[in-house]
C-alpha cells in the first residue's frame, strides 16, 4: 500500500464515513490540534518506563484522543454512524478523568502560584501537551455539535495534564523569584482578581 494517494493535492481531505472538506476547515484545524496534542503526549510517554503507571495512563489518554478525532472528523449529517466510546466521546470518558485528577493531587504539594515548566523532561512534555490541548479545546468549540462531549473532555484533560506534570516534577519551580516578588502584586493586593489561583491560565 502506498502512503501517498494524491487525493489531497487539491487542498481537501476525506472525512470519516465520507465527504471531503478543505484542509483549512475548522474541523481539520481542530483535528490537527488534537493530533499534535497526541504527539506531544507521546514525547512525554517516551521518557517514562514502559509498563509504569504513567506509561499506562498516557497510552489511555492517547487512545481517547483517537476517539475524539473520529468524532470531529465526521460530517454533521453522518453523526448517526458514530459509536459511543469508539468514535464518539461519551460523558463517561469525561467523568473518568476526574478521579484521576483527585488521586494525583494527593501525591504532591500543590503550588500556590504560577510555575515554570521544565523541572524534568517528563513534566515538561506533559506541560507542552497541556498547552496544545488548550489550543485544541479552543479549536473544537467551533465544530462541536450540541450535546457533544468533545469540549468538556479536552477541558478536563488539560486539568489532568497539569496535575500529572506537577506529580512528575515533585517540586515545582515558582514563576516568581524572591527578588521579583516585590515587582508583582501579591494576591492580597488584588492579583487574585486578575490571575487564577490554579497555575493553568484557563479553567
Q: How far apart are the first and last CA of the chain?
A: 44
Question: Residue 88 has what pLDDT?
Answer: 97
Question: Residue 187 has what pLDDT?
Answer: 36
Query: Does domain 23-173 correspond to CATH entry 2.160.20.10?
Result: no
Q: Is the pLDDT of residue 182 over 90?
A: no
The pLDDT tens digits of the residues spanning 94-138 come to 999 999 999 999 999 989 889 999 999 999 999 999 999 999 999
Question: Residue 188 has what pLDDT?
Answer: 37
Q: What percent of the chain has pLDDT over 70?
A: 87
Q: Is the pLDDT of residue 52 over 70?
A: yes
Averaged confidence pLDDT in the chain = 89
Q: Is the pLDDT of residue 180 over 50?
A: no
Distance CA 20, CA 2 (A): 20
Question: Residue 199 has what pLDDT?
Answer: 53
In DSSP terms, which residues pair with 12 in a beta bridge? 22
Residue 122: how many other CB atoms lie within 10 Å: 21
Distance CA 19, CA 11 (A): 14
Q: How far is CA 127 from CA 43, 164, 171, in A?
A: 11, 9, 14
Residue 10 C-alpha cell reads as 487539491
Amino acid at each position: 500500500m502506498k502512503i501517498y494517494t494524491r487525493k489531497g493535492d487539491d487542498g481537501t481531505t476525506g472525512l470519516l464515513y465520507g465527504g471531503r472538506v478543505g484542509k483549512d476547515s475548522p474541523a481539520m484545524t481542530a483535528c490537527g490540534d488534537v493530533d499534535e496534542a497526541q504527539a506531544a503526549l507521546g514525547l512525554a510517554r517516551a521518557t517514562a518506563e514502559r509498563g509504569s503507571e504513567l506509561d499506562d495512563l498516557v497510552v489511555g489518554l492517547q487512545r481517547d484522543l483517537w476517539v475524539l478525532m473520529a468524532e470531529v472528523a465526521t460530517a454533521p449529517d453522518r453523526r448517526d454512524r458514530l459509536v459511543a466510546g469508539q468514535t464518539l466521546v461519551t460523558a463517561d470518558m469525561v467523568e473518568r478523568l476526574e478521579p484521576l485528577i483527585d488521586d494525583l493531587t494527593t501525591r504532591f504539594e500543590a503550588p500556590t502560584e504560577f510555575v515554570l515548566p521544565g523541572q524534568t523532561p517528563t513534566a515538561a512534555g506533559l506541560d507542552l501537551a497541556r498547552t496544545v490541548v488548550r489550543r485544541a479545546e479552543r479549536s473544537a468549540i467551533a465544530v462541536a455539535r450540541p450535546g457533544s462531549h468533545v469540549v468538556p473532555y479536552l477541558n478536563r484533560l488539560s486539568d489532568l495534564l497539569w496535575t500529572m506534570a506537577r506529580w512528575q516534577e515533585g517540586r515545582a519551580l515558582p514563576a516568581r523569584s524572591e527578588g521579583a516578588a516585590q515587582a508583582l502584586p501579591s494576591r492580597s493586593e488584588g492579583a487574585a482578581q486578575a490571575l487564577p489561583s490554579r497555575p493553568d491560565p484557563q479553567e
